[in-house]
Amino acid sequence: MFVPRAGLETLKPYSIEEINWSVRLDANERPTDLPPAVKARVIEKLSALPFNRYPEISAQSLKETIAAGFNVTAANVIIGSGSSEGLFALCYAYGGAGRSIVYPTPSFSMYGIYAKLADSRPVPVELNSDYTLDADKLLAAAKQAEANVILLCNPNNPTGTVIPSEQIEYIAANARCLVVVDEAYHEFYGQSSVNLLNKYPHVVIARTFSKAYGLAAARVGYLLAHEDIIKTIGKVLLPYNVNALTLVTAETVYQLRREFAAGIAEIVREREKLAAALNAVPGMEVFPSQSNFLLVRTSSAAALVARLRARGVGVRDFSAAPGLTNCIRITVGTPEENALVMEVVTA
């Protein structure tokens, strides 16, 4: 029935099982709704919003609020409907036919899809067996492919492992293309490559409100970069790409971001507790994580996923994914949810 554009035949629709688990540990979300004081403020702001009006054309107010938090200007910020939209727009703007986008694997599965949607060649570079990165191997692959973009995820989804700051700077110093650092889980790690923005005009940082800040429902994220890069990416995004409800919500959350510190600290404590408990289970290996999830390897991965599901616990099964044989990814939940995971694992 009519022929779609070339290249789409190789893409499968993004599908994750949409099951309403009573315990949702499959999407790296914040396990609870917004802190009540923050939610009350958001509702108050939303109730004063004129729903009949288009949003601000370029999300200026949220850009300025975020820029102030990083000591940059609004010209260094672009807002997306999720950081996904920003990352996709970047790949579209800097990719294209005959161009390459390089990224480590296993990493965020969307990177290869952004590359393909941008008509570019995806060039995945395998991580070491312990999921650390060989920076020279990545740079060599980028050089050979004459890459236009390198995408790094730090901490890395789905492994939870990190690329040390010095290694990211080494890549930035030696790459001849854009170097994007996707810091979706940065709040659980504490370290960032934002400081590289001043020194390297080809570095881009991606952040999201979907994880630590509990706004997965609102779809909002941003990129920080040199203003020329931001201008170029802006050409790709459609006007009013982020709706006014989301802009108001994100701005309120950003202003009140200190209210999230205790929740983030609790996730980090729970992560360490859960990692230690899982590691103590014979036959189970937990990779060191600086994020809000744990990658666990066990020869009985499929059976464990089934047992968790039988108790209403949804986790992400990567056991058949390349480079992730026998692995499952478990989002760190509330203390009660994590206790339930351990009960099922040790039953």
Ligand X SMILES: *Cc1c(COP(=O)(O)O)cnc(C)c1O
141 binds ligand X (CB under 6 A): no
Task: Tell me the β-bridge partners of 151.
Answer: 180
Closest separation between CB of residue 99 and ligand X, Å?
Answer: 21
Binding range to ligand X, per CB under 6 A, among 40-48, 208-216, 251-259, 332-340: 208-216
247 binds ligand X (CB under 6 A): no
160 binds ligand X (CB under 6 A): no
Q: What is the DSSP string of 276-306?
A: HHHHTSTTEEE---SSSEEEEEETTHHHHHH
By C-beta, is 94 or 108 nearer to ligand X? 108
29 binds ligand X (CB under 6 A): no
Cα 199 to Cα 153, 172, 225, 298: the distances in Å are 20, 10, 11, 43
Q: Build a one-symbol-per-residue string for 166-185: x at contacts with ligand X by CB under 6 A, - elsewhere.
A: ----------------x-x-
Work out which of 58, 193, 210, 292 binds ligand X, going by CB under 6 A: 210
Closest separation between CB of residue 66 and ligand X, Å?
Answer: 14
By C-beta, is 28 or 298 nearer to ligand X? 28
Rounded CA-CA distance 105/324 in Å is 10
Closest separation between CB of residue 108 and ligand X, Å?
Answer: 4
E strand residue ranges, the chain: 23-24, 77-80, 100-105, 121-126, 149-153, 178-182, 203-208, 221-224, 284-286, 293-298, 313-314, 316-317, 327-331
Contact 26, 316 (CB under 8 A): yes
By C-beta, is 14 or 51 nearer to ligand X? 14
Closest separation between CB of residue 250 and ligand X, Å?
Answer: 11
By C-beta, is 252 or 340 nearer to ligand X? 252
Distant-in-sequence, close-in-space partners of 180: CB < 8 Å, separation ≥ 6 = 87, 90, 149, 150, 151, 152, 203, 204, 205, 206
Residue nearest to ligand X (CB): 82
157 binds ligand X (CB under 6 A): yes
154 binds ligand X (CB under 6 A): no
Contact 78, 222 (CB under 8 A): yes
Rounded CA-CA distance 223/90 in Å is 9
Closest separation between CB of residue 282 and ligand X, Å?
Answer: 30
Polymer length in residues for the chain: 347
Q: What is the DSSP string of 6-62?
A: TTGGGPPPP-------SEE-SS---SS-S-HHHHHHHHHHHHTS-TTSPPPTT-HHH
Closest separation between CB of residue 27 and ligand X, Å?
Answer: 8
By C-beta, is 210 or 338 nearer to ligand X? 210
By C-beta, is 182 or 337 nearer to ligand X? 182
Site residues for ligand X, 63-92, by CB under 6 A, read 82-84
Work out which of 25, 74, 127, 153 binds ligand X, going by CB under 6 A: 153
Give the interface with ligand X as residue ranges (CB under 6 A).
28, 82-84, 108, 153, 157, 182, 184, 208, 210-211, 221
